[in-house]
Structure 1
């Protein structure tokens, strides 16, 4: 029996039910709603309804309605539910949410649409002296007349279903005074956490190649080789790429044109093959040519035994000649005639064509060409991935990192491993090439980041992650840099007539440098809480204490951000409160200004990011003070997609996620807080211009499992900001 206080609450809560809204989420099935990052604890909005019939006239949302039903009589009841799209009604045998069971539903996979009540012909015994926990889940996509309603009737033949209205429902709890990150009161049930067996069996493994395990993902867990083992393995050389644009005048937002991509080996499967559809921009070919002739340029048709002619287009668009002078003109004339008829049948602008492949009747004298299933061909080996270039990739947002040729990697690493063993008495055996990244400079030499898994003296496995340089042409400055030692250790003599594998001066990354994530926020409780939870997970999995989060809060009202940080297990944090409207540039600048150590790394961050566990090491090894900054390419997830179902595209032109040493950040003048007040968009490109003009390289790589969650700007920051 309940207490008197419970009875008073029951009376106070009568007449409405709790309603949680999950916006910005595509799909039309309830199972899709359960995959939402914030479901069931962190809805976009928490409100109430006065009856179990909701039609907000909105799109791409999910609803969770829950509370108690109060029967008006004892007896058997039947329930029904109607909706567009899917919906489920769960009902408990008492007031305990854990006893809720699926009672009725509309659809399973999101393609079913019912406008009338839909029910299962079973009954539920209810007592008027009791209350029963209920829960409704509803998912709506972007189409249709959105609605969900629940009806009931006594189990008597001929009675109609009535919508359950305010007289027979009550709140599960009063949420009006609670912050959005207060979630202990929210019931977690089988409805909100468990897929039905039918849904589990129908779930297919996603086809994204990037979901496959890769040694890069866990490389940070292997102990690092002692740095003393790498000392003087290679001669020192000056690192001075020719593509650096220091002091070169760059027009506004033209820095994008001076950011180059690195090549990667082995394949990291960042190419989104499951998203390509008809995309053909992963290799250098004219889209018009490919549309017309496909891959015939790379194919040579075998001669046929019966000497029948074969007609295949060549890159010039001219029919291949055959040895039969009589058949060739006939075939060409037929094709010309057909082409002329098609052109004649093409509609004028706004008209409808009369030509149809299906409806065309065979013309007199026109013989249908037979299909030759015995036709074969030969082709020269061609790796389309190796034909890619920066030009293509800046326009193709589903292509992955540029691929580096295996023979080049083997050649460079064989020399390096030989030198490593010469220096250390031959104790290292190469177990695996985990990752090699090349920044090409054809005028001077290529820089490599080599990451190897080595067996040390047959006793332990260590990892090596170092920059090396293959110097092609020497500058005058090189002659004064360790010249005597460098030339003495070079087998090609003092003039380096051959490429020199060397250690680039001032290009060593720090393995334990502090990384500060700086994030400005305003009224984004569910995302702030998710970010904090992700940082807790990062610390728990990596055991890395050398990072901190700095949150600049523009007077959030939906949660106590500072208290959430106090309650967290992140190793270090800084909470800064700022008055006024949300300003991304000033928020980032305020956060960076609190960092005292100028020799630590600042990572300018967004709130809606899913981080791989390797993110800390990725930032560290691609940021070198005075040399390198890091702008990782994030994958923007589509509406309704998640890290486990990553449909989306690479944000190749976005630079809002940026790692740079604090000293370099200060040197270039920080964020432009004057020009980008009360707005955002473009401040990242303007920042990039100044980074490049100050002589820094910007490393640009697609990171595996690095995602930007889909979200709209509706309700964010201030009302005047458009979506």
Structure 2
């Protein structure tokens, strides 16, 4: 019965009405959902002055702020323990300061490795309005809010640079939500007390009770510019009162932190706004070096047993020609004697993402780069046979045509092209904005007027010989403030139109440039600005030439009012665009292999270049030759999977050393790691050029096994760090070591901390509470001395055939650091000095902005037996002053006949820090 009476045909006939009804119903459901979502806050979008869209904006922006590009866990939620609140906490709020950190956005503060557990300063404030006199810092203010009455409130925030205000639905930090904020990109700001500059600064209605307290949190970031301030205010809705600052009557502490050490973090709340996380690489990182690489995790692959590698190559003695045993090295000159190793395949250690500020890798003089850019790498093709004189004529007005009288054309050969690209009108004018990139059209054949050579070029008294058109000195260029040479010599007398500006000899009327002046790449001749046309037109309109038909057009009155200037200008330029039938200009470009131009000598003048690249034409034949030998020794047992890493140390006299790290597959299909040093001898002891080519490698390489020169996969690595009163960094170091052990499960590395009686934390207790498998602690007294602290740590090592890694405190380690130290340290032959990347202020490991520390040798891996052989650390000369001890040790290592492996190590960072509190008594 129901089906029979259902008006199906009627609905089909009114399909549009049905669709409209469904849309309206969907809209009602959405609004209802929003009302339910805001019910916990007592939000009512219909009584909010900003309307329902304000709630929607809040929701969207809140989600954006709560989305962190760093992968985090929710472990902090399960570890939350509510503190005991006391009435005496009222009147103040907790303030934590994170100093020496650059940035203007709250996202930059969250990148700080110490945030939020290890602030530099813990103090309190009496109101939610602060005005620190610092620079480059972040603040976290938190506590409880105590409303003075029941009702609906609106809360607002204002700050110089970005800030956020979070509020919980109750007294738990786990329930905070973002209510108000000043920007999120770092460019937004407001003056003190300005709460209505951005819609996001003011929250919607919030229903609060005077019988409860609510946890709140303020985040604020300030750079080194402007007047630092942040304030939070509120107002009771439906009243005429404006916003008032939240003062001491309505706030209280979250916890009392007086007397706590920096290492005591149990009282610090972690919230959705502020919680500790382990940084990871961003999926959209711009730096190539941050991409996942097989090298980074190759240590996890099981090694091929050394028994299978015995006898694959014939043994040979290893005595490189470049070692300096018995040779005295002048003080601090060893850094110039260390050479880089070549790497294959590309490990992307070149800091390409930092080259927007520095282009030193191209070895161009800065002034040439500024003026000519990269024009020397490209040569425009010669002119085509077809002449372009006809369609270039519309470019010339009466003045141009008369000024060109008497000139003669010059052939446009390639030399002229190059000269014109290297020489600019701005070369002799300081007030001309230099153009870094010139359009190819500037040198193309479309402008024959620019190919003309002035008769003045043949005069010896002409000040500069330049291959350019006389138009370069014409009035079309506003940089010509002085009188033109042509005006002085009057070589070409011309008829000029009368203008009110004829008496101005410095061409001062051309102060404004046309829109096209900054876009010369379009290939169109510059035209006067609208302002200039207006002024000349107002002066003597009757002498102004116009296009045919314009003067008699009824749409344009004879008065030529200003409102028609734009239309006239467009019409005047239309023939330029219609008549120019240009072909696309082409050029000759050669392949630029910049890596081939580099050498193994350390470039101290450029800290952006990474490892020197080894060509595939050299690396792959060596790999094939070795695999052929392995196949001959063990037929069918192994086959090559991938070439993971090849490291070459050049010896031009006796032969180069190679580290082959190959992924091989055994007969059962199991992936294995082959990591072996081999020697490629020079034939007949002849010196081999560094630019070894395939032709030179045509004779089979003389591969052999360098006796005694193999790394020990089971060697214990002792990481030694001296410290004093650096609690937050010591804790971060311990956390780093815990991460390494968790990722590698390597039980053959040991952390040794020598502590000069730190007073800001109990270092020994922190080690005991850690999850480290092995560690040693030694308490020292007196002033901090790096050399003595390192030597004390070395003395704790009892096994001489283990590796000590002399280390710094402020490092972020790659997960393969232990394996890299083992691989590049060979007892009796070689130490390892990796190049670390220093992060800029405000940079984190997962965005890696900074530079390579090419001059530092303080991070050094060496066998204890070798360190003792060269005399250990120099504790007599280097005491409580900074610097020099690493260079002096390097001199003695080289004098002892050891080689030093020097490579740029991926994902190895030195965190930014100030030197405040370091090297103090």
TM-score (norm 1): 0.86
1:648-701: CA deviation from partner (whole Å, max 9, x where unpaired): 111111111111111111111111222221111121111111111111111111
Pairing 1:712–2:712 present? no
Whether 2:634 is the aligned partner of 1:424: answer yes
Match of 2:184 among 87, 108, 123: 108
1:542–1:328 CA distance, 2 compared to 1 (3 A): same
Correspondence for 2:434: none
CA distance in 2, matches of 1:535, 1:666: 26
Q: Does 1:215 align with 2:417?
A: no
| 1-structure distance, mates of 2:750, 2:725 | 22
| Gap change, CA 1:211 and 1:121, over 3 Å in 2 | closer
Q: CA deviation at 1:418?
A: 0.7
Shift of 1:128: 2.7
Q: Is the 8 A contact 1:289 1:315 kept in 2?
A: no
CA contact (8 A) 1:452 1:465 kept: yes
Deviations 1:267-314 (A, max 9, x none): 111111111126443356666665565555555544443277253327
Inter-CA distance 573–157: structure 2 relative to 1 (3 Å threshold): same
1:148 is aligned to: 230
Instruction: Give, in whole Å, the separation in 2 of the partners of 1:466 and 1:402.
Output: 21
- The correspondence for 2:782, drawn from 550, 574, 580, is 580
Q: Using the TM superposition, name which of 704-713 and 102-111 deviates more.
A: 102-111
1:335 alignment partner, SS class: coil
Cα deviation for residue 241 of structure 1 reads 1.8
**1: CA distance, partners of 2:581 / 2:871:** 68
Aligned twin of 1:235: 314
Rounded Cα–Cα distance in structure 2 between residues aligned with 1:345 and 1:653: 48
- State the alpha-carbon separation in 2 of the partners of residues 31 and 526 from structure 1: 21
Structure 2 counterpart of 1:38:
114
Going from structure 1 to structure 2, the CA distance change for 1:576 and 1:336 (only over 3 Å counts) comes to: farther
Separation (CA, whole Å) in 2 of partners of 1:205 and 1:298: 31
On the 8 A contact 2:286/2:353 being kept in 1, the answer is yes
State the partner residue of 2:468: 335
Q: Which stretch has the larger CA shift, 601-610 or 43-52?
A: 43-52
Q: Which structure 2 segments of 5+ residues have no match?
A: 1-81, 196-200, 388-411, 425-442, 458-464, 483-506, 518-523, 527-579, 687-698
User: Quick one: distance in 1 between partners of 2:155 and 2:652?
Assistant: 73
Question: 1:47 is matched with which residue?
Answer: 123
Task: Choose which of 600, 605, 611 in structure 2 pairs with 1:401.
Answer: 611
What is the aligned residue count?
Answer: 674
SS at match of 2:908: strand
Distance 1:278 1:162 in 2: 45
Aligned pair in 2 of structure 1 residues 77, 10: CA closer, same or farther (>3 Å)?
A: farther
Which of the numbers 175, 178, 203 marks the counterpart of 1:99?
A: 175
Structure 2 vs 1, CA of residues 287 and 356 (structure 1 numbering), >3 Å: closer, same or farther? farther
Residues 83, 267 of structure 2: 8 Å contact kept: no
CA contact (8 A) 1:513 1:546 kept: yes
Runs of 4+ with >6 A deviation: 314-320, 336-346, 353-358, 369-372
Aligned to 1:272: 351
Kindly tell me: are residues 358 and 717 of structure 1, through their superposed partners in 2, closer, same or farther at Cα, counting changes over 3 Å? same
3-state SS of the aligned residue for 1:437? strand
Indicate if the aligned counterparts of 1:14 and 1:171 stay in contact, CA closer than 8 A: yes
- CA positional deviation for 1:247: 2.5
Question: Does structure 1 residue 695 correspond to structure 2 residue 774?
Answer: no
1:173-220 Cα shifts (integer Å, max 9, x gaps): 11123222222222111221499xxxxxxx982210011111001101
Within the candidate set 631, 636, 657, 2:859 is matched to 657
Any idea what SS the aligned residue of 2:274 has? helix
Q: Distance in 2 between matches of 1:580 and 1:258?
A: 36
Structure number having the greater strand percentage: 1
2:18 is matched with which residue? none
Query: Which whole-Å CA distance do the structure 2 matches of 1:446 and 1:457 have between them?
Result: 32
Instruction: Give the corresponding residue for 2:163.
Output: 87
Greater displacement, 655-664 / 7-16: 7-16
What do residues 329-384 of structure 1 show as CA deviations (whole Å, max 9, x unaligned)? 559755287889999979xxxxxx9999975999xxxx959996523234443422
Matched residues in 1 for 2:173 and 2:357: separation? 48
Change over 3 Å in CA distance of 1:691–1:11 after alignment to 2: same
Correspondence list, 1:343-358, <5 A: none
Q: 1:508: how far off?
A: 0.5
In structure 2, what is the equivalent of residue 28 of structure 1? 104
RMSD: 3.3
Alignment of 1:464-483 (within 5 A): 464-472=674-682
- Is structure 2 residue 427 aligned with structure 1 residue 313? no
Partner of 1:534: 736
Question: Aligned in 2, Cα 1:153/1:634: closer, same or farther, shift over 3 Å?
Answer: same
Alignment deviations for residues 628-663 of structure 1 (CA, whole Å, 9 cap, x no partner) = 111111111111111111111111111111111111
Tell me if structure 1 keeps the 8 A contact 2:95–2:125: yes
Find the residue that maps to 1:28 and give its secondary structure: coil
| Distance change (3 Å), C-alpha of 1:356 and 1:624 | farther
Alpha carbons of structure 1 residues 278 and 707: separation in structure 2 relative to 1, 3 Å? closer
Measured after TM superposition, the shift of residue 532 of structure 1 is 0.9
Task: Answer whether contact 2:140 2:220 (CA < 8 A) is retained.
Answer: yes
Deviation of residue 46 (structure 1)? 1.6
Q: Which runs of 5+ in 1 are unaligned?
A: 1-5, 196-202, 347-352, 477-496
State the shift of 1:9 in Å. 4.7
**Map of 1:3 onto structure 2:** none
The structure whose Rg is larger is 2
Say whether the 8 Å CA contact 2:336–2:602 is kept in structure 1.
no
The aligned residue for residue 522 of structure 1 is 724
CA distance in 2, matches of 1:507, 1:698: 14
State how 1:451-600 maps to structure 2 within 5 Å. 451-472=661-682, 500-600=702-802
CA deviation vs aligned residue, 1:378-402 (integer Å, no higher than 9, x gap): 4443422221224573321111111
Matched, 1:177 2:255: no
Conserved? CA contact 1:282–1:385, under 8 Å: no
